[in-house]
Structure 1
Amino acid sequence: MGELIQEFNDYRAKMNDVILGKQNKVINRLFNLDTNCYAEGALSTKTKEMLGLVASMVLRCDDCIKYHLGKAHEQGVTTEEMYEIFAVANIVGGTIVIPHTRRAAEYWEELIAQ
């Protein structure tokens, strides 16, 4: 696994354990809603991950972008599809999204190199 991916996944898992371990009902329910939102339904899990990625890029959340890139990769999103996702995010979010697209492209390259 690439260094960027390993570092992100390790930190995310460690801090999620800390946060969820505090047993705050609201936070735990929010995490549960987030997980369930991306379950298969009228929209496929793949489609939901692509939507989540566009929203994360427009909102400029690099951690969220990395998470959805990983999930999109697991769902079989192709590089051609990924660059269309990047295009939609940049059209919706404007040029301020370009730096996030650069980092997303770097992370995607590491994912597909695995």
Structure 2
Amino acid sequence: MSTEWGNRLSSLIKSVGNLSKTNKPVAKAFHGLEVATREDSVLNDKTHELIAIAVAVTTRCDGCISAHVSAAKKAGATKEEIGAAVGTAIALNAGAAFVYSSHVMDAYDQL
């Protein structure tokens, strides 16, 4: 594990552990949500993690990136598969910006 991202993941685990101790109901609920996404899932672990990586990119969550890249590698995801998932995230962000930009034109017309 590389130093920078390995340190981020270790720090994340420690910080989340501290948060979990101070707010057990929220931590339990969040953990339950994660468990629910895998329970009786038609997605295998690798596919689940590839989707999580793409979402992590679109939400700009470094903690999510460190956790889900690590999990994806453990689930057997290749660098190329992760690259493809990230490519989809990039395309979606560009598409979302393009579509949302129509609001600017609407605002201009209405103002």
- Structure 2 partner of 1:43: 43
Counterpart CA distance in 1 for 2:62 and 2:35 is: 18
Would the aligned equivalents of 1:52 and 1:68 in 2 still touch at CA under 8 Å?
yes
Q: State how far apart, in whole Å, the 1-side matches of 2:77 and 2:87 are.
A: 15
In structure 1, runs of 5+ residues without a counterpart are 96-114
Aligned length: 95
Indicate the structure (1 or 2) with the bigger Cα radius of gyration.
2
The TM-score with structure 1 as length reference comes to 0.71
Tell me which residue corresponds to 2:104: none
Percent identical among aligned pairs is 21
Partner of 2:93 in structure 1? 93
1:1-114 aligned at under 5 Å gives the runs 1-38=1-38, 41-94=41-94
Structure 2 gap ranges (5+)? 96-111
Larger RCO, structures 1/2 (Cα 8 Å, 6+ apart): 1
Q: Quick one: structure 1 residues 6 and 66, their matched pair in 2 at CA, closer, same or farther if it must change by over 3 Å?
A: closer
C-alpha distance in 2 between matches for 1:23 and 1:60:
24
Query: How far apart, CA to CA, are the structure 2 residues paired with 1:67 and 1:76?
Result: 15
Amino acid at match of 2:74: E
Normalised by the length of structure 2, the TM-score is: 0.72
How far is the alpha carbon of 1:39 from its aligned partner? 5.2
Deviation of the 1:19 alpha carbon = 1.2
Structural RMSD (CA):
2.1
